[in-house]
Structure 1
Amino acid sequence: MHFPDQPLPPVAGGFILSQRLHHNDPLLAIGCFDPQHYRDALAEAWGIRLPERLQRAVVKRRAEYLASRLLVRAVMAEFGIADFILTNAPDRSPRWPEGIQASLSHTTGTLVVAATRQNLAIGVDVERWMAENTAHETAGYLMNAREQQLLRTLPVSFNAAATLLFSLKESLYKALWPQLHQPMEFTDAALVTVDWSQQRALLRLTRTFSTDFPAGTTLQATFLWQPHQVITQVTHPVKPG
């Protein structure tokens, strides 16, 4: 995974701070936005209508929705799909165009989209560092003893390492949901190795979900370490649908 190096044209108004692409496969896009500059008029100007369920939502939610749909539209244009507006299925999962496997994540002021035409399960996640007390309070259901030992060998604080683990498992869940439509617990997968210099990791399923995803299945992950946050991505080959 590489930090996107191709800037998209700037968007006027101060709401969208930047949008960048990296033309690898999967394609990775990162957007930064300022919720304080959000205005409902921007959605109308950009042709991205807010769903009824969001029209009375707090500004933070409306800002995330608009910024994410704008970035997704730019990513889909790279695949030759013009004016695409991302919608959601009844289970709230995103509805991507036919033939596109993709994933979306956002945190305060940051958006990430990964997309490919390959037959890949793909999941992406972005997280800001959890607080130290949160890391210790959640350790019991987020990680097993071996994972906790592994995290303590990493060259960062325990709360930052715990955030990496949380994000990797979120990316794994997002990658597998379209394949399985089954809920996952954090303990249904375990972090096996972390290559810090290459920013790569390996996860292993501890539970059998299907014949294609039995316990013991290993999944490759990559991550981008940034000040105050981490971006993770999990991919795994799947059979053509």
Structure 2
Amino acid sequence: MDTTRNYQQDTHISPQLPHAFYCCTFSVEHYNDSQFSLHGVSFPEKLKNAVAKRRAEFLAGRICAKHTLEKAGVRNFPLLSGEDRAPIWPSHITGSITHTRHIAMAVTTSNSDVLGIGIDIERLMDAEQEQKLKSQILHPAESAIFSRLNEHTNHPLTLIFSAKESIFKALYPSVGKFFGFEAAKLVTFTANELEFSITETLSETVPQHTVVKVLYQTTSEFVFTECEFRVYR
């Protein structure tokens, strides 16, 4: 592979949320540090001691973010990370980045009613992984609905894990602190949407029993979830 063409746009995944997005594929094996300058992305000091995989994934996410920001008219913005590792977006932009092995995506919006966006791509866990992680991911009250979800989709735990990752990203700007998987409980689902209830008050903006919806898509390789938290006027 020509390393100058390592990060290529991918059009196989289209988010259901009506926001600007960009998705790319990449190869960790063909990564080198010169690709940061090639794509106009600053190499952050915090990656100085990171392994190539971490550097390649970080760059992929920033490339995707750069393209979505350009769609909003924002160019040459240094997308830094806070102490919590969350991207520091321009003041009028809300966004989210995700990456997994060989694929990355970013979604952004300038809609002021959107308080947070969360997206997540996960490679499918095998049955043994799902069984090992089940108790860490599921809320105790999710057992019954998880069994029903298992009848409608393969790899249901990967799906719930991804959905809760998207929920965390979408709610974090309104919560401002870490919260675990037990804070969201699956209550119902359809062929492309999961509905969760927040089990504890996370902030004034996110009280207990807040309803959060997550859109999802599955393929033979991965799960893609997306969550939007907004105010309705």
Do the structures match in fold with TM over 0.5?
A: yes
Moved more, 118-127 or 199-208: 118-127
| Residue ranges of structure 1 left out of the alignment (5+ in a row) | 1-10
The residue that corresponds to 2:4 in the other structure is: 13
1:74-89, aligned counterparts within 5 Å? 74-89=67-82
Change (3 A) 1:218 1:63: same
CA distance in 2, matches of 1:225, 1:29: 18
After TM superposition, the score normalised by the length of structure 1 is 0.86
1:204 to 197, 203, 208: 197
Deviates more, 1:180-189 or 1:162-171: 180-189
CA distance in 2, matches of 1:239, 1:87: 30
- Hey, which of these two has a bigger chunk of strand by percent? 1
The sequence identity of aligned pairs, in percent, is 28
- The offset of 1:150, in angstroms, is 2.1
| Secondary structure in 1 matching 2:136 | helix
Structure 2 residue runs without a partner (length 5+): none
The alignment partner of 1:208 has SS state of coil
Paired residue for 1:8? none
Q: Does the residue aligned with 1:94 lie in a helix, a strand or coil? A: coil
Query: Superposition RMSD on alpha carbons, in Å?
Result: 2.2
Q: Which runs of 4+ in 1 moved over 6 A?
A: none
Letter matched to residue 67 of structure 1: A
How big is each residue's C-alpha offset from its partner over 1:40-98, in whole Å with a ceiling of 9 and x where there is no partner? 12212223231122133211111112121111111100001112232101221110111
Match of residue 153 from structure 2: 156
Name the CA distance, whole Å, in 1 between partners of 2:184 and 2:4: 43
Mark the CA change 1:152 to 1:28 in structure 2 (over 3 Å): closer, same or farther: farther
CA shift in 2, pair 1:128/1:111, >3 Å:
same
CA contact (8 A) 1:189 1:205 kept: yes
SS class of match (1:179): helix
Equivalence map 1:97-108=2 (5 Å): 97-108=90-101
Contact 2:7–2:26 (CA<8 Å) still a contact in 1? Answer: yes
Q: 1:151-230 residue pairs with structure 2 within 5 A?
A: 151-154=146-149, 155-157=152-154, 160-196=155-191, 199-230=192-223
TM-score computed with the length of structure 2 as normaliser: 0.88
Aligned to 1:143: 138
Per-residue Cα deviation, 1:163-210 (whole angstroms, up to 9, x for no partner): 1001111111111111111211211110111101xx111111000112
Taking the aligned partners of 2:8 and 2:38, their CA distance within structure 1 comes to 17
Partner of 2:44 in structure 1?
51
In the alignment, is the contact (CA less than 8 A) between 1:15 and 1:36 conserved in 2? no
Kindly state the Cα deviation for residue 12 of structure 1 after the two structures are TM-superposed: 7.2
Aligned residues: 226
Partners of 1:188 and 1:132 in 2: CA distance: 25
1:109 is the counterpart of 2:109: no
